[in-house]
Amino acid sequence: MSTKKLLVSLSFAALLFGCGSQASNETQNLADTAESSSEESPRGDPIEGERVYLKNCASCHAPDAGGRPGLGKPLAGTDFITTNSTADLVGFLIKGRGPSDPENTTGIQMPSRGGNPALSDDALKDVTVYLKTLPQAPS
């Protein structure tokens, strides 16, 4: 093999090798992206939702989401939770429902964002997804 040919094939090999390792880096990066976006959980995270629920909602709606008379309506397994979309429920939670709202059945206020303005829309989505996992609470 001439020196020139050897050099050409060596650099070709280097090129191949270079491409190969770059491709595998890209695969790695894609895998990383997929992983981090699942951590951000675009569909909502029910585990985080339970944490948010117990901290912000359970005082009125009870830890099992079965409701507390005079404080908050039952949520677990109710038509309101199961038939409304996640997006509609998040919209409801952002607004809340005042005592004079025609849809209010208790005359008691459901505070906007459960009374915690620091709860992000994402946190409300997590709570909603969590609530949708609950079976009807025993009454």
Residue 78 near ligand HEC by CB under 6 A:
yes
CB 75 within 8 A of CB 65: yes
Interacting stretch for ligand HEC, rule CB under 6 A, among 14-22, 28-36, 40-48, 74-82?
74-82
CB atoms within 10 A of CB 8: 12
Q: Is 86 left (phi over 0), alpha (psi -120 to 50) or beta?
A: alpha
Residue 62 CA, distance from chain mean position: 22
Q: How many Cα atoms sit within 13 Å of 124 on the Cβ side?
A: 22
Residue 60 near ligand HEC by CB under 6 A:
yes
For ligand HEC, the binding residue among 66, 72, 76, 126 (CB under 6 A) is: 72
Interacting stretch for ligand HEC, rule CB under 6 A, among 4-12, 17-25, 31-39, 72-80?
72-80
Residue 90 near ligand HEC by CB under 6 A:
no
Q: Which two tokens stand for residue 41?
A: 């959980």
Q: Which two tokens stand for residue 130?
A: 């969590």
Please report where in the chains the tokens 């199961």 appear, as a residue. Answer: 82
Residue 86 near ligand HEC by CB under 6 A:
no
We find the least distance from the C-beta atom of residue 35 to ligand HEC, in angstroms, to be 28
Binding region for ligand HEC (CB under 6 A) = 56-57, 59-61, 71-73, 75, 78, 80, 92-93, 97, 104-106, 108, 110-111, 114-115, 127
